[in-house]
Chain A
Amino acid sequence: RKEVEQDPGPFNVPEGATVAFNCTYSNSASQSFFWYRQDCRKEPKLLMSVYSSGNEDGRFTAQLNRASQYISLLIRDSKLSDSATYLCVVKESNDMRFGAGTRLTVKP
Chain B
Amino acid sequence: DTGVSQNPRHKITKRGQNVTFRCDPISEHNRLYWYRQTLGQGPEFLTYFQNEAQLEKSRLLSDRFSAERPKGSFSTLEIQRTEQGDSAMYLCASSFNANTEAFFGQGTRLTVV
Separation in Å of the A36 CB from the closest CB of chain B?
Answer: 8
B107 touches A97 (CB 8 A): no
Q: Is B48 an interface residue (CB 8 A)?
A: yes
Assembly CA distance A47 to B54 (angstroms): 28
Interface of A is mostly: strand
CB neighbors of A among B15-37 (8 A): 33, 35
A95 touches B56 (CB 8 A): yes
Q: CB-CB < 8 A to A54: which residues of B? A: none
B33 touches A95 (CB 8 A): yes
Q: Is A19 an interface residue (CB 8 A)?
A: no
Q: CB-CB < 8 A to A49: which residues of B? A: 101
Total interface residues in chain B, CB < 8 Å: 24
Interface size class of A (residues with CB under 8 A): 20 to 34
Question: B59-67, B70-78, B79-87, B91-99: which lies at the A interface?
Answer: B91-99
Separation in Å of the B97 CB from the closest CB of chain A?
Answer: 10
Question: A62-70, A75-83, A86-94: which lies at the B interface?
Answer: A86-94
Among B42, B48, B91, B93, the residue within 8 A (CB) of A99 is B42
Q: CB-CB < 8 A to B95: which residues of A? A: 96
Q: Is A59 an interface residue (CB 8 A)?
A: no
Q: List residues of chain A with CB under 8 Å of any chain B CB.
A: 4, 6, 31-32, 34, 42-46, 49, 87, 89, 91, 93-101
Q: List residues of chain B with CB under 8 Å of any chain A CB.
A: 33, 35, 40-45, 48, 55-56, 91, 93, 95, 98-107
